[in-house]
Amino acid sequence: MCRRRAPALLAALLACASLVYSPVVEARGERIKKPKKPKGPPKPERIEVGALPALSYDSDLGLGFGLIASVARFSPGYRPYRWRLELLLSANAKRAPGKGIEVPFHDDYLNMDFPGLAGDRLRITARVGFRKFANTGYYGFGNDSVATEPWEGLDPDQDLMAYQAARRYHRFDHIYPLLLFNARIKVWDRSTPQQRRRIEALVGLNTTYNIVRPYPGSLLEQDIALKAMDTPDGQATAHLLQGTDPHMLMVVSAGALFDTRDHEYTPTRGTFTELTVRASPGVQQGLRYAAFTLNSAWFKSFIGEYLSFAVRGVADVIAGDAPFYELTRFGALMPRDGPGGGWSLRGVPRQRYAGKIKLMQNLELRSMFWKFRIKNSQFAVGAVAFLDAARIWADFGRTELGGRSIDGGTFKLGTGGGLRVRWGETFLVRFDAAYSPTDKSNGFYVDVGHVF
């Protein structure tokens, strides 16, 4: 995710509804309602504030709780706003294997977005955050990696510790503070009030300090031992399994963004394309690599917001010695987990597939069919049907482990549907349920913002 957590929107709606009232005055013993002021479109000069409990759910992470708040300043001549801040303080609780409760995910961040700098030619976005991801997935590498279930046959009532250790076979603990900074510079702009037409240059810096802690008996612990062996399997594993000791990672990115969307947060027409390169000079452990991303989304409206179609294609290629957890991520503008999880291949577990070459596709049929107001706030409710697909290769050449290729198989699929709720212009919550017919797994996600 990146991953942002979503609020308990229904609770917020009830809270807002409880504030709706009609002022009254006494006149000659009668209670007479004051006439309501006509409610038109939002004022162009305004501040939108939202603060809600950050209650969320992810089938990989469990129930999230905390606080999410956003403040956006709107002014004439600035799109989509003059500036926006978003603060998240959250943690996730999930039932531990066998019995008890565990906290697999902790996420705190402050997002900052300033799109109207230097005469509206410069946009700066930044994130300061801290993450502890005790449930990070590790299944090996390649499109044909196997998700084993070593806990089968173990009885948690007889040996709880052995059962819980087996359930962590495909997991490890990943702790990392982070600083993400992007500068977007307009190099060409023919935008209109109805639609953007612009090209931006992107320059960014993403710095993290990473602590990787394998669980006893886990696949990652076994592969760390395997890569130290002077065998064909050990050499193949060592080539891919980089960055297992504590280290700082500094990634510099640059590229171009092509934007013709009619709206940044809920587009129904136009396109958005990211063409970027990100590279690490190898601050520690010789982690020198370069990665290239082509991420293009296209939007077509059939009946305004009532019915639209959205499609995205992603190609992400890594060359060099990247840390192994980067092989389950893509993108430079806003790095995401994938393939696998609620931001890429829904219905498939997070970090399920890892490789240096990744192809992903997402198709969505969208509809915002109900709009209403509560006091001065605008709301909209809609639905989405989707199909996700992905294909992964561990490396550029053939990679074998145990005498067989790890890149066999076909495209991995995820399909499903969901609900969308929008508050104002910039705050959208999604509820997605998905099933993967290729992996025979399912997922449910509550998060902020469209997948693309």
Local structure of 332: helix, strand or coil: coil
What band does 17 get if pLDDT is binned at 50, 70 and 90? very low
Q: pLDDT at position 35, please?
A: 54
Q: What's the pLDDT tens digit per position in 292-318?
A: 999 999 999 999 999 999 999 999 999
Locus of tokens 């995401």: 336
What band does 411 get if pLDDT is binned at 50, 70 and 90? very high
> Is 434:442 a contact under the CB 8 Å cutoff?
yes
What band does 3 get if pLDDT is binned at 50, 70 and 90? very low
Q: What's the pLDDT tens digit per position in 186-232?
A: 999 999 888 899 999 999 999 999 999 999 999 999 999 999 999 99
What integer is the mean pLDDT of 140-168?
94
Q: Is the pLDDT of residue 138 over 60?
A: yes
Which one-letter amino acid corresponds to residue 52? L
What integer is the mean pLDDT of 134-162?
94
Q: Is the pLDDT of residue 41 over 80?
A: no
Local structure of 411: helix, strand or coil: coil
> Is 286:279 a contact under the CB 8 Å cutoff?
no
Average pLDDT score over the chain: 90
Q: Which of 47-51, 392-396, 405-409 has the lowest mean pLDDT?
A: 47-51
Local structure of 322: helix, strand or coil: coil
Q: Are strands 171-189 and 122-137 parallel, antiparallel or unpaired?
A: antiparallel
Percent share of the chain, pLDDT over 90: 76
Residues 6+ positions from 63 with CB-CB distance below 8 Å: 55, 56, 57, 92, 93, 94
Locus of tokens 């320059």: 203
Cα-Cα-Cα-Cα dihedral of 133, 135, 136, 142, to 10°? -170
Q: Is the pLDDT of residue 163 over 70?
A: yes
Q: What does the alpha-carbon distance between residue 403 and residue 376 come to, in Å, rounded to a whole number?
A: 65
Selection from 278, 285, 280, 169 nearest residue 238 by Cα: 285
> Is 278:291 a contact under the CB 8 Å cutoff?
yes
Distances (CA, A) of 110 to 4, 103, 426, 446: 11, 21, 16, 20
Q: pLDDT at position 139, please?
A: 97
Selection from 58, 110, 16, 35 nearest residue 375 by Cα: 16
Q: What does the alpha-carbon distance between residue 181 and residue 199 come to, in Å, rounded to a whole number?
A: 19
Distances (CA, A) of 165 to 140, 170, 188, 241: 18, 10, 55, 22
Q: pLDDT at position 194, please?
A: 84
Single pTM value for the model? 0.84
What band does 354 get if pLDDT is binned at 50, 70 and 90? very high
Q: pLDDT at position 43, please?
A: 83
Residues 6+ positions from 310 with CB-CB distance below 8 Å: 267, 297, 298, 299, 300, 362, 363, 364, 365, 366, 450, 452
| Structure token digits, residue 52 | 């809600």
What integer is the mean pLDDT of 335-348?
95
Percent share of the chain, pLDDT over 70: 91
Q: What does the alpha-carbon distance between residue 221 and residue 212 come to, in Å, rounded to a whole number?
A: 11
What integer is the mean pLDDT of 28-38?
51
Q: What does the alpha-carbon distance between residue 451 and residue 449 come to, in Å, rounded to a whole number?
A: 6
H-run or E-run covering 452:
none
What integer is the mean pLDDT of 367-380?
93
Q: pLDDT at position 246, please?
A: 97
Q: What's the pLDDT tens digit per position in 228-240?
A: 999 999 999 999 9
Q: What's the pLDDT tens digit per position in 72-117?
A: 999 887 878 899 999 999 999 999 998 889 999 999 999 999 998 9
CA-based radius of gyration for the chain: 24
On the 0-12 / 13-18 / 19+ scale of CB atoms within 10 A, 344 is: buried
What band does 375 get if pLDDT is binned at 50, 70 and 90? confident
